[in-house]
Amino acid sequence: MANTPWHLLKQTMDVYTTTWATANDGVPRGSGPVSASFSVACSVQPGSAADGLVYGRDTTTKIFEVYCAPVTTAGAAWGVTPKDKVIINGVQYRVAGQPRDLILQGVVYVVTLERDQD
What residue spans define the domains of the chain? 6-116
**In this predicted model, what pLDDT tens digit does every residue of 14-52 receive, in sequence order?**
998 877 666 777 776 666 555 568 999 999 998 865 555
Classify 54 as helix, strand or coil: helix
Domain 6-116, architecture per CATH: Beta Barrel (2.40)
- Reported in sequence order, the residue ranges of the chain that DSSP labels E, i.e. its strands, are 11-16, 19-22, 28-31, 38-46, 61-68, 85-88, 91-95, 100-101, 109-116
Q: Could you tell me the CA-to-CA distances from 43 to 53, 66, 75, 109, 117 in Å, in that order?
A: 23, 6, 18, 11, 20
**In this predicted model, what pLDDT tens digit does every residue of 46-83 receive, in sequence order?**
886 555 556 666 667 788 999 999 999 999 999 998 88
pTM: 0.79
